[in-house]
Chain A
């Protein structure tokens, strides 16, 4: 447990006609967390975030922010929150500065100095007076983060903040999130469909699929718990299967396409690699994966098929 509860959802759900986009969702975000909200595309992440920020009304359940019920005390609940929902959109015919003034007016007014400060933080000071329609996607994404930080909120919700960015842009956003959490003591919730992205920045995470919570907890604990699976690929495949079955146990080896998935401790990988080489196996790949990663890949792959 990492401190007070900042966000809690109880049995949260949203139904569109007969389909539940989110169902029975119980999330907990604590003060100081960088909370990764992970799920494949269409899993219900954005619908959940829209409910957390009161853009859509839940069909069932309730959201509590800083112990205020979002349904009953909306303004108090949202007072210390900033967020981006999906891609950040702005008034394109206005400058970044003017856009932030407008956002600030909805938070009780923002001083010029504060606007300049957040623009500086996201590296947009030099373009502050340019119309947003002249901005690249990455700049809009950074402006999105700037607007979410304008009121100096304690809790920042970022929906797919690295979506559509190049690797450099993704790294900059990740660094910014780390900076917010460690240097500015913000609690951050970020949604993503990329496990490695969450793994890189989050301290706690939840996995959602088809609108339902799969698991949540500390990132390290979730990734370490359960079986560890190593994927082997090599030639001749029959000989590889035979060696792995005899050395590790046939019940721990599964054939998946050209690959052999073996449940085994990662520390045994060097020893088994030496054996395979000595036996004349041409090794093409050895990929260690945690069970959560394997699980997440499987749901992501099935989603994309």
Chain B
């Protein structure tokens, strides 16, 4: 199995499209953070405008931690797009290239090939999320310095600097898990088609619709939310609450795990019986 995973990693990481996501992050993250430095905290002042009439905020709140935490919002839509760009190609890419005919005629079960591909997808997803985390956090701290972290969701929360670093680490670990759940949807769609565009569009469509249903304050959607994976996708944000709601995070992770298992089992059932016609 290790050998299969090794060669799947080679196939994935020697492909140019794998690096499109890395390249975009490597361009966009520094660009945004440099612009934020140039703007000099106007973004934070604008956000806090109404509050500054009632509170006196002291210290360097527009710092690297704040910017790095803001960058994590890209995990809702932008980063998933870049992840499914590769995840959706794992199976569909073989169909497009005609290489199913090369690999599925061997004396190795389709289940093992399928697992090797999914493990590769998980590894890619984790590497990519941590690339984002290390680049955005490291660069933000370098450009904007350190200080206490101000959190602006549901009011104001200020976390002392000593209590911040581990939250980023935990946040990115949880984000990686959340992204694996999105990758598993792309992987599922990837079993049906002969072109990676289909899984990419389908997964993005599902993700965007579900995110909207999760964030729009409509009663009808509220009843549906517990069944949507996007309802649990924010586990990475929850570590920036105080106290950290570990019970909710665990429930969210389990729910996402359920979605991963569901999509992967469904994909496997399709893949093992799929007729290879390309």
Contact = CB atoms under 8 A, between A and B. Distances in A.
Interface of A: 50, 53-57, 74-79, 81, 83, 85-94, 98-99, 101-103, 105-107, 109, 147
A89 B99 CA distance: 6
23 contacts: A50-B275, A53-B105, A54-B104, A55-B105, A56-B276, A57-B273, A74-B107, A74-B109, A75-B108, A78-B105, A78-B107, A86-B101, A87-B98, A89-B97, A89-B98, A89-B99, A90-B97, A93-B16, A98-B10, A102-B11, A102-B103, A103-B103, A106-B106
Nearest to A159: B101
A13 to B, nearest CB: 14
A56 B277 contact: yes
A75 B102 contact: no
Given A89-B102, A106-B103, A75 B109 contact: yes
Interface in B122-164: none
B276 A90 contact: no
Interface in B74-121: 97-109, 113
Given A79-B107, A102-B10, A106-B108, A57 B275 contact: yes
Contacts of A79: 107
B102 to A, nearest CB: 6
Contacts of B276: 50, 55-56
A305 to B, nearest CB: 26
B195 to A, nearest CB: 15
B4 interface: yes
Contacts of A107: 106-108
A176 to B, nearest CB: 19
A56 B102 contact: no
Given A75-B109, A79-B107, A109-B3, A85 B101 contact: yes
B57 interface: no
A56 B4 contact: no
Nearest to B106: A106
Nearest to A89: B98
Interface string B237-249: 0000000000000
Nearest to B277: A56
Interface in B8-23: 10-11, 14-16
Contact of B105 (A83, A91, A94): A83
Contacts of B273: 57
Nearest to B97: A89
B227 interface: no
Interface in B36-74: none
Q: Looking at chain A's contact residues, is the secondary structure mostly helix, strand, loop, or mixed?
A: loop
A160 to B, nearest CB: 13
A134 B67 CA distance: 46
A55 B14 CA distance: 26
A101 B7 CA distance: 8
A81 B104 CA distance: 12
Which interface residue of A55, A93, A98 has the most chain B CB atoms within 10 A?
A55
Given A55-B104, A78-B105, A103-B106, A91 B275 contact: no
B14 A106 contact: no
A79 B14 CA distance: 29
A63 to B, nearest CB: 13
Nearest to B5: A105
B9 to A, nearest CB: 11
A88 B105 CA distance: 13
Contacts of B6: 105
Nearest to A95: B14
A28 B16 CA distance: 45
Nearest to A47: B277
A53 B7 CA distance: 22
Given A93-B14, A94-B14, A102-B10, A54 B99 contact: no
Contact of B102 (A50, A78, A147): A147
Given A56-B276, A76-B107, A78-B107, A90 B102 contact: yes
Given A94-B10, A106-B108, 14 more contacts: A50-B276, A50-B277, A74-B107, A78-B106, A81-B107, A88-B102, A89-B97, A89-B99, A92-B97, A93-B14, A98-B14, A101-B7, A103-B102, A103-B106
Nearest to A102: B7
Contact of A56 (B98, B106, B275): B275
Contacts of B113: 106
B107 A75 contact: yes
A57 B110 CA distance: 13
A86 B97 CA distance: 13
B120 to A, nearest CB: 13
A109 to B, nearest CB: 6
A105 B3 contact: yes
B105 A54 contact: yes
